[in-house]
């Protein structure tokens, strides 16, 4: 996927240089042409297509933005209402099925979400220890982490 995307960027740069026009619409047209060329080339190869991978990545981005906005709204509500409504908890999340790159991306995704923070990774890299500000129900919090874990694995790394 990364090589196809870099090739798409390269084709965009070549198109922009050939047209000698660096306007935004021209760059978008160059990117679209490169996307089309790479998509056609991908039809000759086995495995998932480049547009399919981009669509899954876009779908994960929409999902992640949704949970990011929800977490921000929850933190904002905590700030503007009197009293404390948080129920902090440290959870242990199984990540034995992830390689080091996937584990790093998952940990960063969790930490980017307000109200959650990856505290530690076990020495054998099988467990993440996550601090959650709002984890009154342990099983629901674990289910949310598992959902993020599964979506990341299926939509980004498949």
Q: Alpha helix (H) ranges present in the chain?
A: 2-19, 24-42, 50-80, 100-112, 138-151
- Per residue in 123-140, pLDDT (tens digit) is 999 999 999 998 888 899
**73 & 117 share domain:** yes
The parent domain of residue 30 ranges over 2-42
**55 & 16 share domain:** no
**118 & 141 share domain:** yes
Torsion of CA 49, 27, 16, 53, to 10 degrees: -10
For residue 134, give the 3-state DSSP assignment: strand
**72 & 146 share domain:** yes
- Residue 121 CA to residue 93 CA, distance in Å, equals 10
- Per residue in 73-106, pLDDT (tens digit) is 999 998 898 888 888 999 999 999 999 999 999 9
Q: Which of 44-48, 59-63, 103-107, 113-117 has the lowest mean pLDDT?
A: 44-48
Residue 5: pLDDT band (50, 70, 90) is confident
Report the number of distinct structural domains present in the chain: 2
Q: What is the pLDDT of residue 12?
A: 93
Burial per residue of 84-104, b for 16 or more beta-carbon CB atoms within 10 angstroms, e otherwise: eeeeeeebebebeebeeebbe
**63 & 37 share domain:** no
**129 & 88 share domain:** yes
- Residue 75 CA to residue 3 CA, distance in Å, equals 38
Residue 26 neighbours by CB under 8 Å, 6+ apart: 15, 16, 19
Residue 150: pLDDT band (50, 70, 90) is very high
**82 & 124 share domain:** yes
Question: 158 pLDDT exceeds 80?
Answer: no
**32 & 61 share domain:** no
**79 & 132 share domain:** yes
**18 & 90 share domain:** no
**18 & 66 share domain:** no
């Amino acid at each position: 996927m990364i090589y196809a995307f870099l090739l798409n960027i390269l084709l965009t740069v070549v198109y922009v240089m050939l047209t000698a026009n660096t306007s935004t619409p021209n760059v978008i047209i160059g990117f679209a042409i490169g996307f089309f060329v790479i998509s056609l080339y991908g039809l000759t190869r086995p495995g998932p297509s480049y547009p399919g991978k981009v669509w899954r990545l876009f779908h994960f981005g929409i999902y992640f933005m949704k949970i990011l906005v929800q977490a921000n709204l929850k933190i904002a509500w905590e700030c503007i209402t009197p009293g404390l409504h948080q129920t902090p908890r440290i959870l242990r999340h199984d990540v034995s099925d992830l390689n080091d790159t996937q584990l790093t991306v998952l940990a960063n995704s969790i930490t980017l979400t307000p109200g959650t923070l990856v505290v530690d990774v076990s020495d054998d890299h099988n467990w993440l220890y996550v601090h959650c500000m709002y984890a009154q129900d342990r099983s629901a919090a674990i289910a949310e982490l598992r959902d993020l874990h599964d979506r990341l694995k299926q939509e980004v790394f498949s």
